[in-house]
Amino acid sequence: MALLEVEGLTRHFAIRRPLLERLLHRGQDSVIKAVECLSFSLEAGEILGIVGESGCGKSTTCNLLAKLDEPCSGHIRFDGRDVGELSGAALRQFRAAVQMIFQDPFDSLNPRFRVFDLVAEAPRALGLMGERELTAAVHATLDLVGLRAADYVERYPHQMSGGERQRVGIASALIVKPRLVIADEPISMLDVSIRASILDLLRDLSQRLQFSCIYISHDLSILANICDRVMVMYLGQQVEIGSPADIVRRPQHPYTRALVAAVPVPDPHYRRPPIRIKGDLARPVDPPPGCRFAPRCLHTVEACRRDVPPARAFGPQHLAACHVAPIEPEEDGRSVECPV
């Protein structure tokens, strides 16, 4: 059975206009459709990547999965239980079982907390351990993430490097033995030379401690490197999901194709394929019906502007939500000068 099952997950935010503006323009309140009808599942021990540009709904999805925000509709089933109905002890258990790791190692650690208190926060907040047990757990967890506990417990965040802070962040998530870790761009603010060590650590620990991971990033090349599967989102809609090889080598959705083609490659001999996309990235405010990518797509048919495309299978694990795919290579090969 899957550890996590998400079905039709939707989150909208209403933007209330100021009273005066409403009176003058008689305008309706707008709706940001941050996440629309997301469905996927996650196996125990699996690492799923979510990729997309700003406003694609990655962070909202994170918050929904960690139950820091409530969906407007849809269900999240964790370990077979509907997360929306959890309360009391079951909710506390869930809070321990799902942990987050944050992007900014300089802002995500309270500057007035010492490492010990940072790592001890989850068990303390959830009332899980006695002080003696806690001390042992903090030391063990710090060792686990490669920090010598005795050297670090007394330190404040400003006394550590970015990499060390991010390890403390990871320790503070792992101390409660979570079964799902949601990592929101955990390395994007670290120096290139140490990024791989944090990725290694996450991957290694997820195998040893048997936790699943949802890894959120805007950088497809990192996701392709550590994930078992990658999901592509565009303006709140799930566009494509598949193995890294599916996404990078056999992308079906026109947006995935553009995204893959645009990924920077550290090779001066690399010849970038043409990027077929038009217009600018919008915000998911009062989006039109149908596929959200339709206004920028060069392959639209009538159905794209009318119906949300259903996810269709293109391989064993490979799903893409496009009315038009598969796009014939020759059709795709037509030369289109895209407005820059």
Positions touching other proteins (CB under 8 A) are 53-54, 66, 68, 92, 95-96, 99-100, 102-104, 107-112, 121-122, 125-126, 161-163, 169, 172-173, 191-200, 218-222, 224-225, 244-245, 248, 258-270, 272, 275, 277, 280-281, 340
Nearest distance from residue 318's CB to other proteins, in Å? Answer: 15
Q: Give the nearer residue to other proteins in terms of CB position, either 31 or 156.
A: 156
Q: Give the nearer residue to other proteins in terms of CB position, either 27 or 264.
A: 264
Q: Give the nearer residue to other proteins in terms of CB position, either 17 or 92.
A: 92
Q: Give the nearer residue to other proteins in terms of CB position, either 191 or 331.
A: 191
Nearest distance from residue 303's CB to other proteins, in Å? Answer: 25
Nearest distance from residue 195's CB to other proteins, in Å? Answer: 6
Nearest distance from residue 196's CB to other proteins, in Å? Answer: 4
Nearest distance from residue 36's CB to other proteins, in Å? Answer: 20
Nearest distance from residue 197's CB to other proteins, in Å? Answer: 4
Q: Give the nearer residue to other proteins in terms of CB position, either 99 or 206.
A: 99
Helix axes 131-144, 115-126, angle to 10 degrees: 120
Q: Give the nearer residue to other proteins in terms of CB position, either 43 or 200.
A: 200
Bridge partners of 6? 40, 76
Strand order in the sheet with 98-101: 98-101, 180-184, 212-217, 47-51, 229-234, 237-242, 319-320, 312-313
Q: Do 236 and 281 touch, CB atoms closer than 8 A?
A: no
d(CA 72, CA 35): 10
Element (H, E) at 168: helix 162-174
Quickly list DSSP for 169-238: HHHHHHTT--SEEEEESTTTTS-HHHHHHHHHHHHHHHHHTT-EEEEEES-HHHHHHH-SEEEEEETTEE
Nearest by Cα to 62 from 86, 79, 44, 38: 38
Torsion sign across C-alpha atoms 66, 67, 68, 73: positive
Q: Give the nearer residue to other proteins in terms of CB position, either 28 or 54.
A: 54
Which residues are CB-contacts of 247 (< 8 A; sequence separation ≥ 6)?
Answer: 220, 224, 230, 232, 240, 256, 260
d(CA 250, CA 260): 10
Q: Give the nearer residue to other proteins in terms of CB position, either 183 or 325.
A: 183
Which residues are CB-contacts of 45 (< 8 A; sequence separation ≥ 6)?
Answer: 206, 207, 210, 211, 212
φ and ψ at residue 40, rounded to 5 degrees: -165, 170
Nearest distance from residue 134's CB to other proteins, in Å? Answer: 13
In this structure, the strands spanning 319-320 and 73-78 are unpaired
Nearest distance from residue 43's CB to other proteins, in Å? Answer: 21
Nearest by Cα to 167 from 213, 108, 127: 108
Nearest distance from residue 63's CB to other proteins, in Å? Answer: 9
Q: Give the nearer residue to other proteins in terms of CB position, either 310 or 339.
A: 339
